[in-house]
Structure 1
């Protein structure tokens, strides 16, 4: 058993492959590329495109994500909640990846400079949270729904040496817009889009595909539609951001969501397809429980 443990801890193969420590110094986590194209699928997620409105219901969501692509197979639990703080004015949202498991190919292991020789592992993930404030309501302004979002990502995600999470902060600020194109007793459809700014910390290591800067900044954008019919809600959008460093820091996703609600419970299904920088095909399933509605603030 002692021989096996020593073999697992031996990183001579990694040192030779990545010219350690001459390439970037004695700290192995400094060799990572803090870029969405060189990390796991949960590390630097594309922010969700909302519909430009305040969700006035308290709810909790629990489910799982299944990511496939780019030589990476990742499964993770997913938790989310929505907490309206003032009806039609402001809401708090949060989500987390409490646990993920992963298996990567040898080529992906070496491309990401991962230290796990067998390309397998488990770790905890980040927490994402923020606030959405209403700016305009189309029923009152006669024009558009407009909300402003501020969002942060924590540094709770672990295993940077295996390129799973960034272990760095990430912030974004954006405006979300929507316009209802039709609305009747049974169905409705709205067009939605977002424009904003996103920033995250990187590793300044000067390695191939690495960064010569400590921060990457990116415009954030997205456009899509949302259709409701009875108890069904269907949404589809294309969303992404584009960093200025150019090391696969420009992910673009085509995302699709279906939600069926029966009284206080909802069933959620999603399919997301990576178009640029990310090769993921992500399937997501969840159960949502609606606790209640926001109180009037007057």
Structure 2
């Protein structure tokens, strides 16, 4: 039997030690199936238009179902740098209050059942690539950065990693002349989403294809939006890893002379174990709209 050299023994011992240390560490699943509802949700997309004036939106969210209740405000601002052509958008969950069951706490590896956490900040640039008023079509390109500013990673509320996505919105309206509807608008969204996934001794990226379809029915000051959207990642380390969430949202909007008020219900179809009720309002702020061509 051949003898093993001293250096070979040292090398084998080092490999065994590394394996022993890291095999005892539990891998964290950076997905919507193992975190709170605001950690890495399916991204929203618009009606494929850029506003004329600065808009400030205030939402209130209530998530429920499958052992996790979460309540949070949600703030968003969009500032047109060039009216209806180029804008920047910022949004965040300033804080959330959560309460989970013992089963959810154990499954996610949380340290406590309830508490407060602050959310990530998102920055987005939007560019109108194509606009045809006669054919009622728009094409918008979005570039978005997700920061790692959220807190309470140990209780699986927000990731401790950053991400980004690029997506394109295409919208087309059909104007109707009848007493039932004024307009039907169809919007399609497609893009690429990527976020960091921390594992012992290794950082990798989870890359996903984004997609979405939206149907908007308009009558005078009312509009009704129905949206089917999701993204599909590549990691499959456990059968229910969950980086392929799908959601459906139905939203009713009421617009007065200036402001828009809405209520929305969202259902988690796959790997998003939450239902959502959202109420909110959007306020146009003409006085805070930049004008670089005065």
TM-score (norm 1): 0.82
2:100 to 100, 104, 107: 104
What is the aligned partner in structure 2 of residue 199 from structure 1?
Answer: 194
Structure 1: distance between partners of 2:29 and 2:171 = 36
Q: Is it true that 1:188 corresponds to 2:183 in the alignment?
A: yes
Q: Is it true that 1:245 corresponds to 2:240 in the alignment?
A: no
Q: Which moved more, 1:177-186 or 1:96-105?
A: 177-186
Measured at CA, do residues 107 and 146 of structure 1 come closer, stay the same or move farther in structure 2, by a change above 3 Å? same
Helix, strand or coil for the counterpart of 1:203?
Answer: strand
Q: Is it true that 1:286 corresponds to 2:268 in the alignment?
A: no
Structure 2: distance between partners of 1:163 and 1:91 = 33
Deviation by residue 1:121-142 (Cα, 9 ceiling, x = unmatched):
11111112201111111326x4
Structure 1: distance between partners of 2:281 and 2:170 = 27
1:220 to 192, 210, 225: 210
Helix, strand or coil for the counterpart of 2:198?
Answer: coil
1:130 to 124, 133, 136: 124
1:182 Cα deviation after fit: 2.0
Pairwise CA RMSD: 2.4
Q: Mind listing any 5+ residue stretches in structure 2 that lack a counterpart?
A: 1-19
1:154 to 147, 155, 164: 147
Structure 1: distance between partners of 2:122 and 2:211 = 18
- Bigger-Rg structure (1/2): 2
What is the aligned partner in structure 1 of residue 253 from structure 2?
Answer: 259
Measured at CA, do residues 227 and 129 of structure 1 come closer, stay the same or move farther in structure 2, by a change above 3 Å? farther
1:48 to 44, 50, 55: 44
Structure 2: distance between partners of 1:86 and 1:282 = 34
2:167 to 165, 168, 174: 174
The count of aligned residue pairs is: 267
- Quick check: 1:104–1:120 contact (8 Å CA) kept in 2? yes
Measured at CA, do residues 38 and 131 of structure 1 come closer, stay the same or move farther in structure 2, by a change above 3 Å? same
1:31 Cα deviation after fit: 4.5
Q: Mind listing any 5+ residue stretches in structure 1 that lack a counterpart?
A: 1-19, 207-211
- Quick check: 1:32–1:163 contact (8 Å CA) kept in 2? no
Q: Is it true that 1:88 corresponds to 2:81 in the alignment?
A: no
1:143 Cα deviation after fit: 7.8
1:240 Cα deviation after fit: 0.3
TM-score (norm 2): 0.84
- Quick check: 1:75–1:100 contact (8 Å CA) kept in 2? yes
